[in-house]
Amino acid sequence: MSGMQAIVCRQYGSPDVLRLEEVQKPTAAGDRVLIRVRASSVNAGDWHILRADPFLVRLAYGLRRPKYPILGTDVAGVVEAVGDEVTQFKPGDEVFGDLSGCGFGGFAQYAIAPQRLLAIKPANLTFEQAAAVPSAAVTALQALRDTGKIAAGMRVLINGASGGVGTFAVQIAKSFDTHVTGVCGSRKLAGVRAIGADEVIDYATDDFTNTGQRYDVILAANGNRPIVDYKRALAPCGTYVMSGGSTKQMFQAILLGPLMSMTGKKRMTSMLVKPNQADLQFVGKLLFSGKIMPVIDRNYPLRQTPDAIRYLEKGHAAGKVVITIE
């Protein structure tokens, strides 16, 4: 049995519980692809699972301890081996994908995934850039295109425009020829404007819900605003989509959103990303054409994954936090 190094989580808690360990290397069988991971990236879901916050996380990922000891959603790397049912990939292919639908495992030297969750890495991206993409970009795409039904000429507001999902959301919304307003902190206004936002708002000094401006789609990718504030800022037939943010913001969208949507034509809703190959390939084409590009804030080696998670948890990252795997 050959081994590999991985960041292992055997109990819920702070990043202090994570350990770099030698574990068994997975094997490819059936429709599974074995990937030599070159890079991964950190997502909010990693620390939500790590801390079992909110508590409901335990219902999905293990009541007493994490069901999946190796976290890490996003991977980019080289195909090492394939199972006998794999038809789309071969050893040597450079791929990227989201492992949240198949047990995670990105914070390791090798990872395993069904072929339906992978796509060929865009040739113009490094492995670090590609690893920043899958979860965040597909979340932004599904929130805007599928839930928000964005179309050319619409006014779109992204709250949390400087974060992982937010930086992709700004660029994807622009690729659909919409007018984009990005909300973020003062230090990140220039960066959000640089990736294409038509307008930027500093949440610390300006309240976007009280300007009188109305938006066809509002994506709450981060932050903590009462859901009634978002509804006030929507156009008469507008849609609010929550993809992340504070625990309070999440629960309001999930519990109150459906009730608030029952009166009038405004839709108040939430979404969870559904990893799939077709959307990953769609994003890949946008990346290859240069219409969108990942924004990377910091890069950490595998052994410093706990520090990377701590940094992301503080909420100050401008774009994505990437893990490079030796």
Per-residue model confidence (pLDDT) at position 255: 85
Per-residue model confidence (pLDDT) at position 1: 54
82 CB contacts (<8 Å, ≥6 apart)?
A: 28, 32, 33, 34, 89, 90, 91, 115
Q: What is the CATH number of domain 135-270?
A: 3.40.50.720
pLDDT per residue rounded down to tens, the chain (326 residues):
589 999 999 999 999 999 999 999 999 999 999 999 999 999 999 989 999 887 878 888 888 999 999 999 999 999 999 999 999 999 999 999 999 989 999 999 999 999 999 999 999 999 999 999 999 999 999 999 999 999 999 999 999 999 999 999 999 999 999 999 999 999 999 999 999 999 999 999 999 998 899 999 999 998 788 999 999 999 999 999 999 888 888 888 888 888 888 888 999 999 999 999 999 999 999 999 999 999 999 999 999 999 999 999 998 899 999 999 98
* Cβ–Cβ < 8 Å for 131, 76: yes
Write the Ramachandran bin of 81: left for phi over 0, alpha for psi from -120 to 50, otherwise beta: beta
Per-residue model confidence (pLDDT) at position 279: 98
Query: What's the pLDDT tens digit per position in 76-85?
Result: 999 999 999 9
Q: What is the four-CA torsion angle of 182, 183, 185, 190, rounded to 10 degrees?
A: 20
Query: What's the pLDDT tens digit per position in 8-58?
Result: 999 999 999 999 999 999 999 999 999 999 999 999 999 899 998 878 788
HSE-CB at 274 with a 13 A cutoff on CA atoms is 8
Strand order in the sheet with 215-220: 199-202, 179-184, 155-159, 215-220, 234-242, 267-270
Per-residue model confidence (pLDDT) at position 198: 98
Break the chain into its structural domains and give their ranges.
Answer: 3-132+294-324, 135-270
pTM listed for this prediction: 0.95
Domain 3-132+294-324: CATH superfamily is Medium-chain alcohol dehydrogenases, catalytic domain (3.90.180.10)
- Please, what's the b/e burial string for 180-205 (b: 16 or more CB within 10 A of its CB; e: otherwise)? bbbbbbeebbebbbebbbeebbebee
Crossing angle for the helix pair 277-289 and 134-141, to the nearest 10 degrees: 100
Per-residue model confidence (pLDDT) at position 55: 81
Query: Scanning the structure block, which residue is given the tokens 């999930």?
Result: 254
Q: Is 29 exposed, middle or buried (0-12, 13-18, 19+ CB in 10 A)?
A: middle
Per-residue model confidence (pLDDT) at position 266: 95
